[in-house]
């Protein structure tokens, strides 16, 4: 089975990444690749994080007991960021599993008011209310999409200080979000946000200035930039 066309054709490898007996993924929420081409699978199974070699050999697994794994990102230092959606936090770990940084307040969602529609916040809130994904800029700043019960993007320093937030709940205007679900940063430093329930990708500067919009998608969830 193959997907794509031209220079971008991808073939399914059904035998890749086999798990040991007694371990299962259930639902895979996110996948990331580090600078050594190791693959990190953040899932809702018996071991929330499973790490493979490029060839699919098992390196290790962690049982971090997160409520609802959602997004995963590995930075240039091979530190691992995990978005635990239902705990309303983003957690940074080193390769040994030591917790280095927590963004947000565990089990304390921000106030985003009543939802007039499913996953459309009643008002913009602070970090976080069911966050979804993140990306990191060249200078180490962290951008988090937030989320299922919020309509915001939050920018942090590498040490966890909140710099700014942008976005409003809405369906039409630039900067309106209805479930911002994924974030990526391109080679020009632009921030791409998957605006899932508005079926579009919005593009911003790293200061939150609207730059462009791509439409014609069906619930875009993730953006990967190579």
Examine the pLDDT at 215 and tell me if it is beyond 80. yes
Q: 96-149 pLDDT, tens per residue? A: 999 999 999 999 999 999 888 889 999 999 999 999 999 999 999 999 999 999
Tokens of 121: 């916040």
pLDDT of residue 145: 98
pLDDT of residue 1: 78
* Prior bond of 128 cis (ω within 30°): yes
Say whether 85 sits in a helix, a strand or coil.
Answer: helix
**pTM (predicted TM-score):** 0.95
Which residues contact residue 111 at a Cβ distance below 8 angstroms, ignoring those fewer than 6 apart? Answer: 123, 125, 126
Q: 156-192 pLDDT, tens per residue? A: 999 999 999 999 999 999 999 999 999 999 999 999 9
pLDDT category, 3, cuts 50, 70, 90?
confident
pLDDT of residue 83: 98
In the chain, the domains with their CATH numbers are: 109-226 (2.120.10.30)
Number of C-beta neighbours around residue 223 at 10 A: 18
Q: How far apart are CA 174 and CA 108, in angstroms?
A: 29
pLDDT of residue 2: 78
Q: 32-85 pLDDT, tens per residue? A: 999 999 999 999 988 999 999 999 999 999 998 899 999 999 999 999 999 999
Tokens of 66: 């997160």
Phi, psi dihedral angles at 86 (to 5 degrees): -80, -10
């Amino acid at each position: 089975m193959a997907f794509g066309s031209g220079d971008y054709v991808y073939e399914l490898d059904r035998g890749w990444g086999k798990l040991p007996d007694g371990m299962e993924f259930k639902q895979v929420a996110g996948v990331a690749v580090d600078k050594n081409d190791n693959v990190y699978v953040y899932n809702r199974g018996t071991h929330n994080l499973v790490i493979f070699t490029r060839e699919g050999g098992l390196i290790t697994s962690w049982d971090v007991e997160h409520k609802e794994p959602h997004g995963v990102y590995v930075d240039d230092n091979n530190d691992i960021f995990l978005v635990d959606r239902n705990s309303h936090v983003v957690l940074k770990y080193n390769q040994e599993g030591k917790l280095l940084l927590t963004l947000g307040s565990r089990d304390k969602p921000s106030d985003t008011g009543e939802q007039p529609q499913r996953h459309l916040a009643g008002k913009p809130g602070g970090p976080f209310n069911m966050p979804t994904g993140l990306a990191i800029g060249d200078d180490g700043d962290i951008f988090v999409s937030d989320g299922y019960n919020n309509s915001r993007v939050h920018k942090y320093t590498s040490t966890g200080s909140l710099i700014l937030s942008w976005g409003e709940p809405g369906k039409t205007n630039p900067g309106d979000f209805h479930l911002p679900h994924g974030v990526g940063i391109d080679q020009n430093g632009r921030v791409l946000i998957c605006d899932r329930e508005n079926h579009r990708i919005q593009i911003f500067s790293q200061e939150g200035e609207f730059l462009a919009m791509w439409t014609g998608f069906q619930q875009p969830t993730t953006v990967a930039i190579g």
